[in-house]
Structure 1
Amino acid sequence: MTTQSFATTVADWAVGLMETLGAPGAGVAIALENLFPPLPSEVILPLAGFTAAQGTLVLWHVLIWTTAGSVVGAVLLYGLGAWLGRDRLRSIVDRMPLVKLEDVDKAEAWFNKHGDWAVLIGRVIPIVRSLISIPAGVERMPMTRFLLFTTIGSGVWNTLLVGAGYLLGDQWHIVEESVGVFQKVVIVAVVLLIVWWLFKTLRNPDRPKHARQR
């Protein structure tokens, strides 16, 4: 299936949900998008905005329901991270080649220091916006703060994309193309970071596997 045909399939599916459930259908679609990142919010949200512009849905209903859907999806992933837990994560990492427990310790320390901003900013970055909830759960970020920053970040992202679809009308697909470019930049950045990390790891093969446990 090509990217274009996949986007068309997602669009048809989202339209069906909104026709059946109204604005809550857009919320359901976005909740699922959080759980399954291959579902593109850059298709669902602008399309919901376009539908609102046609008078089929009420704009503020769409914004509320899509943000609620984002939060529900994020909480489920937070729960996955909490279930996984620090000890189970370390046990998994300890069995993985090239990955060191001290790397986990560094990531944990970074998240503990920047967790609020990571969750807030992560909600407006493709791919990261879904995955950021898992480390938040692993680190047991206080739920009130997690909900606050997730709601704010999701609200901003959803408002931008729904609003763009509302204003662009039948040209809503332009949003998908623009976000797609941004997503490719993110993917390239992640790949470069992985390559750099592998290079650094392979240059230091004698680093101890076990960092001091807390």
Structure 2
Amino acid sequence: MFDWITALVERTGYLGIAILMLVENVFPPIPSEVIMPVAGYSAGSGGLNLVAVIVAGSAGSVGGAYFWYLVGKRLGLARVERATARWGRWLTIEPQDIHRASAWFARNQERAVLIGRLVPTIRTLISIPAGIAHMGTPRFLAFTTVGSVLFCAALAVAGYALGSQHKLVSEWMNVGTNLFLAAIIALYLYRVVTFRRGGRRISSGRGELQGK
């Protein structure tokens, strides 16, 4: 799997990295924790430029985050909650997740967006309450970009450091990547199976909460 992803990244180049990261932020077929280290690894082995890899990955990541920001902004809290109750199983997002992210965003604002982009479990989710709260687009994009660059750079540099050790790491990276992807798929399937439609609901567009 590692060799396949490496070949894909090198064949599609920076545009491919950007597209993979954009799609990963919308619905992750391959997690960013695999995409960016592999892209960095390709740069370390001489196939790509590290700075361009980070820029491409960050651009795709920001694009995916902006998609969810627009979803939150257009739908509002009550409609987002209803949508997650109905369709959230396939994105493994429950209404309670929206409430928790919204509460954290309300307390932290810009810091929530910046820090949220650095945390794998909420990197995408934090964009929704930012949109719901109608956070200014320039501010959202600024903090999202900073967080995305830091996240992508850390992963890419980690992969880059392995680039000079191609023969040493290729075999165990194949095994490690396979195990990591298998764990991600297993976790996704578990969340789909155990998804709960229940939870708290919104009584008005202002985001007042009431028990079910």
The TM-score with structure 2 as length reference comes to: 0.67
Contact 1:121 1:153 in 2 (8 A): yes
Q: Which runs of 5+ in 2 are unaligned?
A: 87-94, 207-212
- 2:45 pairs with 1:54: yes
1:61/1:146 CA distance change after superposition, 3 Å: same
Distance 2:159 2:202 in 1: 50
1:74/1:93 CA distance change after superposition, 3 Å: closer
Structure 1 vs Structure 2: percent identity of aligned residues? 39
State which structure, 1 or 2, has the greater radius of gyration over its C-alpha atoms: 1
- 2:61 pairs with 1:67: no
**TM-aligned CA deviation for residue 14 of structure 1:** 3.4
1:74/1:211 CA distance change after superposition, 3 Å: closer
The corresponding residue for 1:42 is 33
- 2:125 pairs with 1:131: yes
The corresponding residue for 1:29 is 20
Deviation digits for residues 76-112 of structure 1 (CA, Å, limit 9, x no counterpart): 11111112213424666899xxxxx9x9778645422
Which moves more between the two structures, 64-73 or 109-118? 109-118
Residue of 116, 120, 144 corresponding to 2:110: 116
Contact 1:49 1:165 in 2 (8 A): yes
The corresponding residue for 1:16 is 11
Q: Which has the higher contact order (CA 8 A, sep 6+)?
A: 2
Contact 1:10 1:39 in 2 (8 A): no
Distance 2:4 2:20 in 1: 13
1:74/1:212 CA distance change after superposition, 3 Å: closer
Q: Which runs of 5+ in 1 are unaligned?
A: 96-100, 202-206
1:54/1:82 CA distance change after superposition, 3 Å: same
Name the Cα RMSD after superposition.
3.8
Deviation digits for residues 40-64 of structure 1 (CA, Å, limit 9, x no counterpart): 1111111111111122211111111
1:62/1:104 CA distance change after superposition, 3 Å: closer
- 2:148 pairs with 1:154: yes
